[in-house]
Amino acid sequence: AQSVTQLDSQVPVFEEAPVELRCNYSSSVSVYLFWYVQYPNQGLQLLLKYLSGSTLVKGINGFEAEFNKSQTSFHLRKPSVHISDTAEYFCAVLVRSGNTGKLIFGQGTTLQVKP
């Protein structure tokens, strides 16, 4: 079965420092991968997605992620974080069955940006 593992439950970082949120997936077939962000008491917003093509994907708010097939990883990075980036981040893989699909989420990583 396909699964997603987010290796860090919490990542504290100082403002303007770089950050990397780690995500590994297990899949024996081609994968579609996503990062979503959830701000406090809000819904999930798509940060970026990998469907095909370039393995370096750029998203909103200065985030980017790199798809690494050999390491089955899709780590999220930002070179300089802001206080407003404090939120819960979810990595997800799209599991397809025929022409239908569903998202399998990781456990989430809480990014805490300190002043």
Residues 43-62, interacting with another protein (CB under 8 A): 43-46, 49, 51
Q: What number of other Cβ atoms are within 10 A of residue 25's Cβ?
A: 19
> Nearest 5°: CA angle at 99, between 76 and 2?
45
| Pick 19 or 90: Cβ nearer another protein | 90
Closest separation in Å from C-beta 92 to another protein: 8
Query: Does residue 101 bind another protein (CB under 8 A)?
Result: yes
> Nearest 5°: CA angle at 44, between 38 and 47?
85
CB of 38 closer than 8 Å to CB of 46:
no
For another protein, how many residues bind (rule: CB under 8 A)? 25
| Pick 77 or 96: Cβ nearer another protein | 96
Helix residue ranges, H only, the chain: none
Residues that bind another protein (CB under 8 A): 32, 34, 36, 38, 42-46, 49, 51, 88, 90, 94, 96, 98-105, 107-108
